[in-house]
Amino acid sequence: MKQHLISLPHHPKRVIIISLILALSIGIFGYLKINKKVQNPSIKDNSTMNENISSNSSPMGLTLGFLSSGRVKSISVKAGDNVKKGEVLATIDADNEDGGLIQAEAAYEVAKANYQKIINGATKTAVDIAKTSVNTAEVNLNGISKQQEVLVNNALRSLLNSSLEAQSVSDNEAHDSPTISGTYECKNEGSYDLQIYSSSGGYSLNYSGLENGTLFLTDVPRPLGDCGLLLAFDKTKTPQAGAKFNIQIPNKNAANYSSNNNAYKLALQNKEQAISGAQAALNQAQAAFESVVTNARPEDVAIAEAEVERAHGALIANPTYGNMIISAPTNGTVTAIYISLGQTIKPNSGAIGFLAASNQN
């Protein structure tokens, strides 16, 4: 062997052949070493790159996985779909999902639902409910108006009937006065002027003022006009021809006049307040109905959009959120789906095959 090595300088062709064999061996060894490193990349930190890359990746594509364990909640893509960088491909319900994240997710879903409701407009059910509210408010207003009208009329009737009496207005005030009974049902204020005169069979009287007419006097109450008052002359008393009397309606000298007057004013005040409140409720119901049946206004849409963006930003900012999603690390194509809805998975297990756009021919 030593002799062969010593003789090599005298054989140049052999030296060249051996050199080529050594160079080729070194090249093959280097290629295999480099290729082995490429085939086993480390998993990148999802918190900084927002990429979930499994150790099963190859030079031709990536296998993406979740950074937390949990149950698959949604899969938004299928094999062959082209996606953009940052697009959410799948989500899980994490085993250790905290309260803050749950609240952020709920707020985001509510904001999206409200936005969609504004865009879509009201449902038939919502329109029917709003219309029913208007009808109810109208019925309520009519009922309150009638009820308050009755209360006011009752208070006015009590005021106008405050201890009515026929007061003598003759020069000689010693005349016996007729007795007033019944209930004054008319609403006009004023007075009755009475004058007694002799008539066939006894005494009668003329009356004028609020009503006009004549009346034969007896000890039995008889109608004084058509407003509900009755007049009688006690048989123990003696009527005198020419005697004059006056009936004031209301009787402001009566002991109960002041309290009846206050009660009437209070009834008027209560009526105004009750009807005003019922009218306001009707106006509100009508406005709500118009809002339901009217198309979405641009300002309402803008507010709803802003609320969706705000809620989405709060969700993304939650530190746990990134561990529960798989998002596209760059523009590319989904090559395979290795998971199914409801499946329980472990951290960093292969979930979605992905090919970056830069690797596509």
Residues 22 and 151 in one domain: no
Residues 214 and 338 in one domain: no
In a domain, 108, yes or no: no
Residues 280 and 142 in one domain: yes
Residues 131 and 280 in one domain: yes
pLDDT in tens, 317-326: 666 677 788 9
In a domain, 62, yes or no: yes
Residues 184 and 204 in one domain: yes
Residues 155 and 254 in one domain: yes
pLDDT category of residue 165 using cuts at 50, 70 and 90: very high
Residues 140 and 236 in one domain: no
* Number of helical (H) and strand (E) elements in the chain, helices listed first: 7, 16
Residues 209 and 75 in one domain: no
Residues 280 and 350 in one domain: no
Range of the domain at 279: 122-162+250-294
Residues 274 and 170 in one domain: no
If 0-12 CB within 10 Å is exposed, 13-18 middle and 19+ buried, where does residue 151 land?
Answer: middle
C-alpha distances (whole Å) from 188 to each of 27, 41, 169, 209, 211 are: 123, 103, 22, 11, 11
Residues 34 and 52 in one domain: no
In a domain, 218, yes or no: yes
pLDDT in tens, 283-340: 999 998 887 777 666 777 788 788 878 877 776 666 667 778 898 999 999 999 999 9
In a domain, 114, yes or no: no
If 0-12 CB within 10 Å is exposed, 13-18 middle and 19+ buried, where does residue 231 land?
Answer: buried
Number of domains in the chain: 4
Residues 171 and 230 in one domain: yes
pLDDT in tens, 1-41: 444 444 545 555 565 666 666 656 665 555 554 444 333 33
pLDDT of residue 252 exceeding 80, the answer is: yes
DSSP per-residue codes, 110-157 = HHHHHHHHHHH---HHHHHHHHHHHHHHHHHHHHHHHHHHHHHHHHHH
In a domain, 202, yes or no: yes
